[in-house]
Structure 1
Amino acid sequence: MPELILHHYPMSPFAEKIRTALGFKKLAWHSVHIPNILPKPDVVALTGGYRRTPVLQVGADIYCDTTLICDVLEHIQPEPTFYPAHLKGVARVFAQWADTTLFWSSMTYSFQPKAQADLFKGLPPEAGKAFMEDRKAMHANMVRLRTGDATSAYRSYLRRIAHMAEEHDYLFGLEPCIADLATYHPLWFTRRQAASLAGILATTPAVLEWMDRIEAIGHGAMEKFDSASAIEVAKRADPLPAAQKMLVDSAFQDDHGIPLGTRVTITPETFGTEPTEGTLLAATRTHYTLEREDPRAGVVHVHFPRIGYVLRKVEAA
């Protein structure tokens, strides 16, 4: 069983998705708490620029984005599965909707001014201000929902989720799948981090009961770790050979006219669009892999899903 290191912070909803995924798989993991705003020098030493949360580290292999991280965990521990055979397509599509459309409705609703006291409880005023300014910068190229529109959408989505939860213990049947994990974390944020606004969930009791079942899964066996030690792990390790990568495919799929071995950047399409630059090692139907070298972390391979990310060739100056 490989040593799993999760770089995250407690308030992060996407980190809660992966913490619950680790619990679902009953996996042991090392927990590295990272800053919730820039600068994040230890994270960037591993990723090369990507700053979204969480990041999964396995030796000198760095996995970005929760969609790809879940694929890695599925490879490591196939049972119980995130992707039941009869639901594989619909569960992934539903999860993508939950991680995007549902997520942004929830975040816009949950970050209303009336929830600021919940979100930054115990912190000095300047910490809350710094967080909001950081997130404003991350949203720079996004169209933002207005609070009223987001609230209306969130209420509708909760009713639709309730219709599913009323029929089964979980959204698609008797066992949870990736759709449950992706749907849970935006609602968890409202319930646990923006408590003064959590009354919106009370109008859908079936959703609250379903959330209780997901919460009961837990987070697996967590052990505290520190970022300096994580960087040392990367430096002492070699990236896994292609045949041992914990990813579902390896065949080259060229949709850009960019050959392997080219210097490229990979950038999130929206939200936190800091690029990662490196040498393109893999471009498969599901993921990209870059090789890069850092003075502190050594040679690392950084992996991204294809969906939601932009691949560009680095042009000579």
Structure 2
Amino acid sequence: MSGPGSDDLILHHYGSSPFAEKARLMLGFKGLAWHSVTVPMVQPKPDVAALTGGYRRTPFLQIGADIHCDTALIAELLEELRPTPSLFPAAVAGQARVLAQWAGLDLFWTALPYAMQPAGAAALFAGAPPEMLQDFVADRRAMTEGMPRLSGADATAALSQYLAWLAAMLDDGRPWLLGGEASIADFSVYHPLWFVTRTGPLAEIFAPHPVLREWMARVAAVGHGERAGKLDGAQAIALARASTPKPAVVEAGQGFEAGDAVTVTPSDYARDAVAGTLVGLNARSVTVARDDDRAGRVHVHFPRIRYIVKKAAG
């Protein structure tokens, strides 16, 4: 099997990541082939840092020397690459985007503490060395420093309500959350719930909602597309070095100029700033150019929503 070219899709992910599951399903929905790079669950991540400049969330999507961060931006990119079937059907596009935004914030940050209660964590890390769970918990605490944390009881109460709300959307017999067509809303709502289904006895929270389980089976049946091959981090870095980033444009009226030294920082968690030269900016995305000793010149792309762009100090 030949290696990837500079236009091929490379997903950097690991198997149990909920957001990576969302990305895999979107690739399957679009019927796209992609290469796989497995990244570590916890820091340190030197190969990731070489490509992203310090952004540490999973997953990200590489195309040559262009690195696309955050599943919200990945969804927009996949829509451009293959417009049909659409993640944003015209009749429900606005609703789909809003529901997806809610799912990535409120639903995810309710599902995660629910799932990581002792019984759930034991199921998720069954068979793993005890230190793996300890490292994971310590890593995620560092990622979420300063964020409020729900107790198990609070998360259980909230998730129970959220599941009832979602089930009510499906009670009229519709196959997908917003009607007759799948959308970004389905994949965004699915991935935190997929994580909960893997928590052994805690997955019983779905028992009152068989219609929700049936919907989840439909989403899972979409599949992950075609895995064209596996790479390691060094191979992905070498491909970036051998590639040329695609041109980007800084639009007028955005408050910055092309060539500005900037940082881009997530506003919610894993607030690791990525520094670079501004080469692309509009209302939807921001792109910085970076020069890395291993990866060479790369363009790192982020969404504008939930990311803070600042001129670099000095």
Q: More displaced, 135-144 or 112-121? A: 112-121
Residue in 2 that maps onto 1:239: 245
* Native 8 Å contact 1:266 1:309 kept in 2: yes
Which of 48, 53, 62 matches 1:48?
53
* Partner Cα separation in structure 1 for residue 133 and residue 56 of structure 2: 19
Identity of aligned residues (%): 50
SS state at 2:171 partner: helix
Distance change in 2, residues 1:122/1:253 (3 Å): farther
Amino acid at match of 1:281: V
Shift of 1:258: 2.9
CA displacement at 1:217 relative to structure 2:
0.5
After the TM superposition, which of the residue ranges 219-228 and 204-213 deviates more from structure 2? 219-228
SS at match of 1:278: strand
Give, in angstroms, the shift of residue 166 of structure 1.
Answer: 2.1
Which residue of 1 is the match for residue 128 of structure 2? Answer: 123
- Paired residue for 1:312? 310
- TM-score, with structure 1 as normaliser: 0.94
Please, which of 230, 250, 259 is the counterpart of residue 236 of structure 2?
A: 230
- Is the 2:277–2:290 Cα contact (8 Å) retained in structure 1? yes
The one-letter code of the counterpart of 2:263 is T
Q: Render the CA deviation track for 1:182-234: whole Å, top value 9, x for unaligned.
A: 00000000103x12210001111110000000000100001222111111110
Corresponding residue SS for 2:224: coil
1:51-62 to 2 correspondences below 5 Å: 51-62=56-67
Distance in structure 2 (CA, Å) of the matches to 1:290 and 1:241: 11
Determine if contact 2:119/2:200 at 8 Å carries over to the other structure.
no
Shift of 1:175: 1.8
Decide which of 178, 184, 192 is 1:178's aligned counterpart. 184
- Say whether the 8 Å CA contact 2:250–2:279 is kept in structure 1: no
Q: 2 CA distance for matches of 1:177 and 1:271?
A: 26
- For the residue of structure 2 that corresponds to 1:127, the secondary structure is helix
Task: State the superposition RMSD in angstroms.
Answer: 1.2
Residue pair 1:190, 1:197 contacting (<8 A) in 2 also: yes
Q: Secondary structure at the match of 1:93?
A: helix
Q: Does 1:73 align with 2:75?
A: no
**Can you list the C-alpha shifts for 1:130-158, whole angstroms capped at 9, x where unaligned?**
11000000010211122211111101110
1:212 alignment counterpart = 217
Quote how far apart the aligned CAs of 1:163 are: 1.0
Write the deviation string for residues 233-284 of structure 1: whole angstroms up to 9, x where unpaired.
1000000123xxxxxxx561545x3322111110101110111000011120
Q: Assess if the C-alpha contact under 8 Å between 1:253 and 1:285 holds in 2.
A: no
Which stretch of the first structure deviates more once superposed, 224-233 or 204-213?
Answer: 224-233
Partner of 1:221: 226
Alignment of 1:98 with 2:103, yes or no, is yes
SS state of the match for residue 215, structure 2?
Answer: helix
Is the counterpart of residue 165 in structure 1 residue 189 in structure 2?
Answer: no
**Residue number in structure 2 paired with 1:252:** 251
The aligned amino acid for 1:32 is V
Aligned to 1:246: none
Quick one: distance in 2 between partners of 1:285 and 1:141? 28
- 1:25 and 2:23 are equivalent in the alignment: no
What is the distance in 1 between the residues matched to 2:88 and 2:121? 37
**Aligned pairs, how many?**
307
How much has 1:292 moved relative to structure 2?
Answer: 0.4
Alpha-carbon distance, 1:108 to partner: 1.0
| Unaligned runs of at least 5 residues, structure 1 | 243-249
Secondary structure (helix, strand or coil) at the match of 1:198 reads: helix
Q: Provide the residue aligned with 1:148 in structure 2.
A: 153
Aligned to 1:3: 8
Q: Which amino acid aligns with 2:118?
A: P
Deviations 1:264-313 (A, max 9, x none): 11010111011100001112010000000000000000000000011111
1:68 to partner: Cα distance: 0.1
In the alignment, is residue 198 of structure 1 matched against residue 203 of structure 2? Answer: yes
Determine if contact 2:55/2:274 at 8 Å carries over to the other structure: yes
Which residue is equivalent to 1:247? Answer: none
Alpha-carbon separation, structure 2, partners of 1:310 and 1:92:
20
Contact 1:14–1:54 (8 Å) recurs in 2 = yes
Q: Which amino acid aligns with 2:101?
A: Q
Residue type at the aligned position of 2:296: G
* Displacement over 3 Å in runs of 4+: none
